[in-house]
Amino acid sequence: MNKQKVWLITGASRGMGLEVAKAVLANGDKVVATSRNLQEQVKAIGDVSGNFLPLKMDITNDAEVKTCIAKAIEVFGTIDVVINNVGYYLVGSIEEISDQEFRKTFEVNVLGMVNVIRNTMPYLRKQRSGHIINISSNMGYIGYANTGSYNASKFAVIGLSEALAQEVKPFGVKVTVVAPGMFRTGFISDANLAVASNTIADYNVATHVKMLHGFNGNQPGDPKKLAGVLLNIVQMEEPPVHLPLGSDAYQSIIEQRKNEALELEQWKHLSLSTDF
Contact 272, 207 (CB under 8 A): no
The verdict on whether 136 is a catalytic residue reads yes
Give the angle subtended at the CA of 207 by the CAs of 155 and 93, to the nearest 5°. 40
Contact 105, 84 (CB under 8 A): no
Q: Residue 147 phi/psi, 5° resolution?
A: -135, 35
Number of H helices, E strands in the chain: 10, 9
The verdict on whether 144 is a catalytic residue reads no
Q: Which of 13, 35, 136, 149 is catalytic?
A: 136
Closest by Cα among 54, 89, 51 to 68: 54
d(CA 183, CA 166): 29
* Buried-exposed string 132-160: b where 16+ CB fall within 10 A, e elsewhere: bbbbbbbbbbbeeebbbbbbbbbbbbbeb
Closest by Cα among 150, 151, 108, 114 to 132: 114
The verdict on whether 150 is a catalytic residue reads yes
Q: Which of 88, 123, 150, 252 is catalytic?
A: 150
Q: Which of 154, 161, 174, 252 is catalytic?
A: 154
d(CA 46, CA 42): 5
Which residues are known to be catalytic?
Answer: 136, 150, 154
